[in-house]
Amino acid sequence: AQSVTQLDSQVPVFEEAPVELRCNYSSSVSVYLFWYVQYPNQGLQLLLKYLSGSTLVKGINGFEAEFNKSQTSFHLRKPSVHISDTAEYFCAVRLSRSSASKIIFGSGTRLSIRP
Amino acid sequence: DAGVIQSPRHEVTEMGQEVTLRCKPISGHNSLFWYRQTMMRGLELLIYFNNNVPIDDSGMPEDRFSAKMPNASFSTLKIQPSEPRDSAVYFCASSLGQNLNEQFFGPGTRLTVL
């Protein structure tokens, strides 16, 4: 079965600094990968997804992630964060060859931005 | 588009009472998901429907939980009887067709069982 690990439960950074949120997955077959963002008191929103093709995926709000098959990673990055990026970020995985497979979410990383 | 609509947004009830959470998916979406989010366990998928049919209910914690989708525009998650450990935020999400790759989440229902 597939699984996803987010090693950092919290990441504090200063405003305008770069950030990387780490995500590693485990699966014996090919997968789709996702990052979702949850702003305070809201539901989750899709930030970006990797299905196939270019391993560098660009999402909304200036975020991007790189799929690294050899390291089974899908880290999320942003070169310069803003206060408005304060949220919880969830990495997720889904089997690519099963139309009925469900998305498995990681435990989340809380990003806090300091002015 | 109004997005996924959930009601109520907040629910406080006493142990032993029945609780019903409601969800209206985005019009045209025919996959619907119920999730539970807690500090201890994170985000857990409880059940999902495709074309109003339950596909995977392996995440439903126990018989006290039940979910229905009587039509394409409405679903309920019921807890009877409720217990304090059921306190959590319950999210409903929907997606288009068989594309489970982008789920649209509702704002959630914060349930507190005293």
A91: β partners: A35
User: Is the bond preceding residue B8 a cis peptide, omega within 30 degrees?
Assistant: yes
Which has the higher per-residue pLDDT, A98 or B94?
A: B94
Q: Is the pLDDT of residue B21 over 70?
A: yes
Confidence of residue A30 (pLDDT cuts 50, 70, 90): confident
Q: Is the pLDDT of residue B1 over 70?
A: no
Partner-chain residue, chosen from B42, B48, B91, that has the shortest CB–CB distance to A102: B48
Q: Record the tokens describing residue B9, joined without a space.
A: 């947004």
Hey, of A32, A90, A103, A109, which one would you mutate to test binding to chain B, going by the most B CBs within 10 A of its CB? A103
Q: Do A101 and B106 touch (CB under 8 A)?
A: no
Q: Do B103 and A44 touch (CB under 8 A)?
A: yes
What is the arithmetic mean of pLDDT over B89-114?
88
Cα separation, B27 vs A33, whole angstroms: 26
Cα separation, B114 vs B111, whole angstroms: 10
Q: Where are the beta strands (DSSP E) in B1-113?
A: 5-7, 10-13, 19-24, 31-38, 42-50, 53-56, 65-71, 74-79, 88-95, 104-105, 109-113
What is the arithmetic mean of pLDDT over A44-52?
92
Q: Is the pLDDT of residue B81 over 70?
A: yes
What is the arithmetic mean of pLDDT over A59-83?
95
